[in-house]
Amino acid sequence: MAGTNSDTIGKAHPDLEQIIKIAIMAVGGQGGGVLTNWIESLARTEGYHCQATSVAGVAQRTGATIYYIEMAPASIPTPVFALAPSAGDVDVLIAAELAEAGRAITRGFVTPDRTTLIGSTHRSLAVSEKTVPGNGVAPSEEILAATEIAARTRIMADMEAAAVSVGSVISASLFGALAASGALPFPREAFEKAIKGSGKGVDSSLRAFAAGHDLALNGEIREPETPSAPAVSNAAGPEGAMRAWSTLSARIGDMPEPVRELALAGLRKVVDFQDTDYGLVYLNRLEEFLACDHASREFRLSRAAAKYIANALAYDDVIRVADLKTRADRFDRIRDEMRVADGYSMRITEYLHPGVDELIGMLPAKMGNRLDKSETWRKRIDRWFSKGRRIRSDRLFGFFTLYCLGGLRGWRRRTFRHSVEMAHMDRWLGTAREYLPDRYDMAVEVLNCRRLIKGYSDTHARGQTKFDRVLSAARLVDQRTDGPQWMARMREAALKDEDGKALEGAIRTIETFTEERQLETA
C-alpha cells in the first residue's frame, strides 16, 4: 500500500531542505521513546547532527504522545533545530496506531508536498470508543482514505501484528519500515547497527525490524480470496436428529437467496441452543414474515426476522452459559488465544454471579411466576443463593457442575425464563405484524429494535426498558412517512449511552413535534 502524491510548494530558505524532520505519534506505552533513541543514534553514527525532543509527561500513561527529531548533515555548522513539529513542515511522520495517523493528519503534520507517512493500520481503541453500549469504534476506512490524499508517500500496514508475531514490540517493526521507506539517507545495516548498539532485546528487535522492513516493501500478503464462498457448516449428530436437520435445512434451500445466509445462521444458532424441534419453531415464525415479503423490497423484513428471531429464541440463560463454557472447542480456543503450548497446564477460573432473575428463571414456569411477583421471595433468594461464584472449570468438580447445568436443555422449555421470553417475543412479533402489509418499513424497524436487548441481570433489564421505550414511542410516529427513520434514530440513540439519556432526548424531540401537530389540528 504505497503511493505518491507529487506537487511541491516551494518557499523558505533553500538550505532548509537539508534538515530532515521526523515526528513520531504514538500511544503511551508503545515504545516511542525507544524508536526515537534508535533514530537518534543512527543519525549520529552516520555523521549527522541530530536533536530529539518529547513531551511525554503523564501522556506516557496510555495517552497520545509525540516525539520529534530533526537531523542535518555534519557539513552544516551548528544547525538550529526546532523543538516541535509544525503543520506542513514534517518530512517523515511515523504513526504507531491508525487513529494516531488520523490525529497527525488533523494536526497538519502530513502534507502531500513532503510527508512520507509510515503508519500501522492496527487499532488501539480509545476509551470513548469502547464505552458506547453499541458500536462506537471510529471508522478506519475514513482515516485510511485520508492518508491516501494527505501523504506524499505512504506505507500503511499492520506493524503491530508484524512485531507481535515475532515476539517483539511495534517500535522495532516501524524502525524497519522507516529503513525500507528510503526516507533517510542511510543503508539498512546502519539501522540494524543502531538496534545492536542499544543492547537490549536485540535479537527480537532485529526480527521485528526485518518483519517491518519486508512488510513495508511487499505490502500485506493477503490470503487468496475464496470466490464468495461463505463458510459452510458441516452438521453432525445422531441419526434421528440429523434427519430432522436435513428436513429443516431443506426448507431454507426453498427460501429466496437474500434470506438464506441469515436464515441458515439463525437456524444453526437455534438448534445449537436447544434442538431440532426448536429449529422448527424458528422456521415457522420466520416464514410468517417471509409470506408477507417481496423481492422488490430486497427481503429486508425477512432478513431482519431471520436475524432477530434467532437471537430472541437463543436467549442467554444459565443453561446456555454452562453449555458454552463446557464445550471442547472453547477449551481449544482458550489454549490458542492464551498461547498455551502443549505440555503446559492451564488453570481456568470462571467468574460467575447468577442474579435473582437468572435463578428464578430456572424454576418451573408457574412457580417462577409466583416467586418473581413476590418481593419477599426475591429478596430471600437473593440472600440465599446470589453470590459470586468462582468455578475452576479445568478441574473435574467445577467442570462437572457446569456440565450438569448445561445438560438441563431438556428442561429449558418448561422454565419460567422460557415462558417470559416467549411471551415477550410474541408481543414483539405481534407489534411488527400489525404494521403489515401497509407500513412495511415500520415492521422492519420494530424487528430491528431487538438489537437493544442484550446482557444479563441489570444490563438485560436496562435493555428491556429501552426496547419498551422505543416500541411505545413508535406509536407517536407510526403514521408519519418518516416514522421508520425516527425509529432508527431512536434505536441508535439508545445504543449511545448506558442511562438512555440520548434516547430520552430523541423521544422528547418526537413528543414536541407530535404535540405541535395536535395543536395545529385542534
Partner 1 sequence: MAERSFKAEVEHLRKGKGETFTGEGILAITKALLENGVGYVGGYQGAPVSHLMDVLADAQDLLSELGVRFAASANEGAAAAMLGASVHYPIRGAVTFKGPVGVNVASDALANLSSAGVTGGALIIVGEDYGEGSSIMQERSYGFAMKSQFWLLDPRPNLPSIVKAVGDGFALSEASNSAVMLMVRIRSCHVTGNFECSDNQPPPLSVRDALSDPRSDFNRVVLPPMSYVHERDKVENRWPAAEAFILENRLNEQFGPKDGKVGIVCLGGMYNGTIRALQRLGLSDISGNTSIPLKVLNVAYPLVQSELLEFCEGKDAVLLIEEGQPEFIEQQLGAMLFKARSPIHLEGKGCFPKAGEYTGQVLFDGVEAFFRKHAPDLLPGQILAPNQPKPEIPDLTSTVPIRPPGFCTGCPERPIFASLKLAEKELGKHQIAADIGCHLFAALPPFEIGGSTMGFGLGPAGNAAFDAGGERRAISILGDGGFWHNGLSSSIGNLVFNRSDTVTVIVDNYYSAATGGQDVMSSRAKNPTKSTNNPISKALEGVGVKWIRQIDRTYDVPRMRETIREALTTDYDGPKVIVASSECMLNKQRREKPLRTAAIREGRRVEVPRFGVDQDICTGDHACIRLSGCPSLSLKQLDDPLRDDPVAHIDQTCVGCGNCGEVADAAILCPSFYEVRTVHNPGKVESFLSTLATRLRTALQNRRKARRVTFSMERM
**Residues of span 199-218 touching partner 1 by CB under 8 A:** none
SS3 131: coil
When asked if residue 53 is in the footprint of partner 1 (CB under 8 A), the reply is yes
HSE-CB of 59 using CA atoms within 13 angstroms: 16
Q: Which is nearer to partner 1, 216 or 484 (CB)?
A: 484
Residue among 6, 221, 224, 226 that touches partner 1 (CB under 8 A)? 226
Binding status of residue 492 toward partner 1 by CB under 8 A: no
> In the bound complex, what is the minimum distance in angstroms from residue 366's beta carbon to partner 1?
26
> Could you say whether residue 502 binds partner 1 (CB under 8 A)?
no
CB-wise, 262 or 432, nearer to partner 1? 262
**What are phi and psi for residue 231, nearest 5 degrees?**
-60, 140
**Which is nearer to partner 1, 82 or 423 (by Cβ)?**
82
d(C-alpha 70, C-alpha 39), whole Å: 10
Q: Is 245 an interacting residue with respect to partner 1 (CB under 8 A)?
A: yes
Q: Which is nearer to partner 1, 213 or 451 (CB)?
A: 451
Distance of CA 295 to the CA centre of its chain: 32
Contacts of 515 (CB under 8 A, 6+ apart): none
Is residue 269 part of the contact set for partner 1 (CB under 8 A)? Answer: yes
Q: Work out whether 258 is an interface residue with partner 1 (CB under 8 A).
A: no
| Cβ distance to partner 1 smaller for residue 221 or 519 | 221
- Residue 392, C-beta contacts closer than 8 angstroms, at least 6 positions apart: 347, 348, 349, 350, 398
Number of residues counted as binding partner 1 (CB under 8 A): 153
Query: Is there binding between residue 229 and partner 1 (CB under 8 A)?
Result: yes
11 near partner 1 (CB under 8 A): yes
Cβ neighbour number for residue 345 with a 10 Å cutoff:
6
Q: Which residues of 184-201 are buried (b: 16+ CB within 10 A; e: fewer)?
A: bebeeebbbbbbeeeeee
Residue 32 pairs in a beta bridge with: none
Among 6, 221, 231, 376, indicate the residue that binds partner 1 (CB under 8 A): 231
Q: Specify the residue, 174 or 359, whose C-beta has the smaller distance to partner 1.
A: 359
Please say which residue, 136 or 369, places its beta carbon nearer to partner 1.
Answer: 136
Binding to partner 1 (CB under 8 A) within 337-396 occurs at: 337-340, 344-355, 386, 388, 393-396
Listed in sequence order, the DSSP H helices in 188-230 are 188-198, 202-218
User: Which stretch in 181-189, 236-244, 439-447, 510-518 sits in contact with partner 1 by CB under 8 A?
Assistant: 236-244
Span 166-195, contacts to partner 1 by CB under 8 A: none
339-346: long-range contacts, CB 8 A cutoff, minimum separation 24: 345/394, 346/394
What minimum distance in Å lies between the beta carbon of 517 and partner 1? 32
User: For residue 518, what is its C-alpha cell?
Assistant: 395536535
Residues 289-348 close enough to bind partner 1 by CB under 8 A? 307, 310-311, 316, 321, 324-328, 330-331, 334, 337-340, 344-348
Task: Return the SS3 of 248.
Answer: helix
Distance in Å, CB of 207 to partner 1, minimum: 17
Nearer to partner 1, 62 or 514 (CB): 62
Closer residue to partner 1 (CB): 257 or 337: 337
DSSP conformation class of 95 = E
Among the listed residues 4, 47, 74, 83, the single contact to partner 1 using CB under 8 A: 83
Binding residue for partner 1 (CB under 8 A) from 99, 117, 442, 507? Answer: 99
Count Cα atoms within 13 angstroms, Cβ side, for 179: 28
Cα of 345 vs its chain's centroid, Å? 30
Strand partners, 53: 68
Residue in the block written with cell 431471520: 306
Q: Which is nearer to partner 1, 234 or 481 (CB)?
A: 234
For residue 223, the one-letter residue type is E
Work out whether 74 is an interface residue with partner 1 (CB under 8 A).
no
What is the footprint of partner 1 within residues 437-466 (CB under 8 A)? 451, 454-459, 463
256 lies in the site for partner 1, by CB under 8 A: no
Q: Which of 1, 2, 112, 201 binds partner 1 (CB under 8 A)?
A: 112
> Does residue 82 bind partner 1 (CB under 8 A)?
yes
Question: Nearest approach, Cβ of 295 to partner 1 (angstroms)?
Answer: 20
Would you list the DSSP string of 155-190?
EEE-HHHHHHTTT--HHHHHHHHHHHHT-SS--HHH
Does 132 bind partner 1 (CB under 8 A)? Our answer is yes
Which positions from 412 to 441 touch partner 1 by CB under 8 A, shown as an x/- string?
------------------------------
Q: Is 161 in the site for partner 1 (CB under 8 A)?
A: no
Question: Hey, what amino acid is at 138?
Answer: A
Of 345 and 376, CB closest to partner 1:
345
Q: Are 64 and 56 in contact (CB under 8 A)?
A: no
Nearer to partner 1 by Cβ, of 29 and 256: the residue is: 29
Q: State in angstroms the smallest separation of the CB of 513 from partner 1.
A: 27
- Neighbour tally for 395: CB within 10 Å: 13
Nearer to partner 1, 262 or 493 (CB): 262
- Cell triple for 341: 503450548
Cβ at position 479, least distance to partner 1 in Å: 28
Treating both helix axes as pointing N-terminal to C-terminal, what angle do 257-273 and 239-253 enclose, rounded to 10 degrees? Answer: 160
Which residues in 270-299 are b (16+ Cβ under 10 Å) and which e? bbbbbbbebbbebbebbebbbebbeeeeeb
